[in-house]
Chains A and B, each alone.
Chain A
């Protein structure tokens, strides 16, 4: 199977009765996602697009065997809703909501680490395994199934890269957003580990940007533990330096976090670094070709 989710993954939508929750549920159903339940406290008993709504995630688990949750709840409700989903034993949480307070994200992450749950986001477009399932908000028509894995911090930049590949006839295995915020559940390294083991993925495209140090950590992992070809893109080369977070930020980051540091780290790790998004097409083609040649030799 593909990483994180496939056509059998049973999904619950938290916040299904809200505007966005309802619209996105419809789009996911049209894509083929196996949505089995919705949750909105106080609205149990209703149904949205023929999907039964429950008051709690626990009920959705008992009644409909939900195993992954996507959250469309307001920023201020994310911490409670995520806690509820983790307590109910969800194997994966997709937190789409933007502007979640960082301290809430810290708490969700800490809780997920204790309970061994996979958390995408906050501020993630989610995950799509083209042709199988879409637990997220990405426009499905920009993707097609194939052998390229994509991991990204930015949502729309990932659409751009996937769309470039799709228009060139190159499909994707699974595309995942870790989330655009300062603190997110999973990081690039967590997903690279999954892609390493995934038979359906031959090449990984990693889309980073200035700030944080998840790209440097990913590069380190690629150098030591990752056997598949990686194409990397880093946005923000020409951005003015970020306003510094006191002295503490500089002490913790130790010179990492800039576009140069990330690009340099990927080069040292042997990744193919692209300067413009559309270059992804030729570089992935090269990488796929090399892999095929390699496979036919052995």
Chain B
């Protein structure tokens, strides 16, 4: 789960990392008289859980109260990469002497945390990493022993924030790593980390992503999760812990396992169909769960055919078949349904599905099931 900027900044601040003076508002009324708290100009930042905000016009600078009010009305309700701006962070405008970059994330190829530091901050950091790799330093960390003094110092030097004592930057590196560990983060990013003309360090940009599978350890954060998914079906599936992504076509897909679901989506496209969604049931297959999965896929009104592709590794397929069959019968579904289910008790599962009017493909090859469904839909 990606946190909003103001949420990440609150955590940074609580952990002793300086952030700009700011105020969070949700309406023009809440803006109030800015001159009480700020001196102009101020920065207004639309809060959406997605990158590329600045380039999309989600950040503006206001030079006086009128300017700020105009910015608020244009920002609120703005849609940025699928997310609607509902909150704005108003911040003081800092006079920056130098920008840098520090982040902590997981290097999946090493299976270890990695800290990245660069003397170039801001939105073009990825470009810098490609063109000037010597300006970017990445150090993996042994999770058992944490960040050593040496590694922290080496990373701190790479920021080239030479106007402040090194130990202050070392301290920020360590604190960011602490946040990463304490919050089960997949990403903690200070970008840009700036040195002001008064030679003070400040995290002007902050980003954090928390591991969804660890959200239960952070109940205060978890409670905000669902509300920020804009797509209604995706929000529903999230509530039920079903991995669902809406796509643009008309063939609904239910697959047991992410890899199988990805492969099924590929095959549908290769055989001339258009997938309506990606859906991974997860391993805990029960009647109720498969019923819920079927409901979620069919909630998308574009769906004109449904493909069920499942293997019963951990649970019998009979349960899955019952879940699909009960939904199909009760909802009097009339679109073509093709099911390929294999594994424990497959023959009993086939019988239940066929009785409910589902076309069963007994072959092991998903290709056959995909072709069958596309053929039925063309009739």
Chain A residues close to B by CB (< 8 Å):
20, 24, 27, 75-76, 96, 98-107, 109-111, 114, 125, 137-139, 142, 152-160, 163-164, 166-167, 180, 182-185, 187, 207, 209-210, 212-214, 216-217, 235-240, 243-252, 254, 275-278
Q: Are B213 and A152 in contact (CB under 8 A)?
A: no
Bound-state CA distance A152–B259 (Å) is 9
Known: A102-B106, A106-B111, A164-B365. A245 touches B191 (CB 8 A): no
Contacts of B216 in A (CB 8 A): 76
Bound-state CA distance A163–B379 (Å) is 31
The total number of A-B Cβ pairs within 8 Å is: 208
Interface SS majority for chain B: mixed
CB of B145 to closest CB in A, whole Å: 9
Q: Are A236 and B262 in contact (CB under 8 A)?
A: yes
Known: A156-B255, A183-B106, A251-B129. A235 touches B262 (CB 8 A): yes
15 new A-B contacts, CB < 8 A, other than A157-B260, A157-B262, are: A101-B214, A102-B214, A103-B214, A106-B143, A107-B143, A154-B258, A212-B108, A238-B275, A239-B266, A247-B126, A247-B189, A251-B129, A254-B129, A278-B365, A278-B367
Contacts of B50 in A (CB 8 A): 243
Binds A, one of B31-39, B307-315, B328-336: B307-315
Q: Which residue of A lies closest to B140 (CB)?
A: A252
Q: Are A250 and B266 in contact (CB under 8 A)?
A: no
Contacts of A152 in B (CB 8 A): 259
Contacts of B263 in A (CB 8 A): 154, 157, 160, 209, 235-236, 277
> Which of B112, B265, B365 has the most chain A CB atoms inside 10 A of its CB?
B365
Please pick, from B105, B130, B181, B258, the residue contacting A245 in the complex, using a CB distance under 8 A: B105
Chain B residues close to A by CB (< 8 Å):
2, 50-51, 101, 103-109, 111-114, 116, 125-126, 129-130, 136, 138, 142-144, 181, 184, 186-187, 189, 191, 207, 209, 211, 213-214, 216-217, 245, 247, 255-260, 262-263, 265-267, 269-270, 275, 278, 282-284, 310-314, 342-344, 363-367
Q: Are B367 and A102 in contact (CB under 8 A)?
A: no
Q: Are A246 and B187 in contact (CB under 8 A)?
A: yes
Q: Which residue of A lies closest to B363 (CB)?
A: A167
Contacts of A214 in B (CB 8 A): 108-109
Bound-state CA distance A276–B278 (Å) is 18
Q: Are A251 and B262 in contact (CB under 8 A)?
A: no
Please pick, from A101, A137, A139, A213, the residue contacting B342 in the complex, using a CB distance under 8 A: A139
Contacts of A101 in B (CB 8 A): 184, 211, 213-214, 217
Q: Are B311 and A182 in contact (CB under 8 A)?
A: no
Please pick, from B51, B181, B342, the residue contacting A246 in the complex, using a CB distance under 8 A: B51
Contacts of A277 in B (CB 8 A): 263, 365-367
Q: Are B366 and A154 in contact (CB under 8 A)?
A: no
Known: A125-B313, A209-B262, A235-B263. A156 touches B256 (CB 8 A): yes
Q: Are B111 and A251 in contact (CB under 8 A)?
A: no
Bound-state CA distance A278–B105 (Å) is 37
Please pick, from A76, A105, A239, A254, the residue contacting B265 in the complex, using a CB distance under 8 A: A239
Known: A106-B112, A157-B260, A164-B365. A252 touches B105 (CB 8 A): yes
In the complex, 30 of the A-B residue pairs with CB atoms within 8 angstroms, ordered by the A residue number, are A20-B314, A75-B213, A100-B213, A102-B106, A103-B211, A103-B214, A111-B144, A114-B144, A139-B311, A142-B343, A154-B258, A155-B257, A156-B311, A159-B311, A160-B311, A163-B364, A184-B111, A187-B109, A212-B108, A212-B109, A213-B108, A214-B109, A216-B109, A235-B260, A239-B265, A243-B2, A246-B51, A252-B105, A252-B114, A278-B366
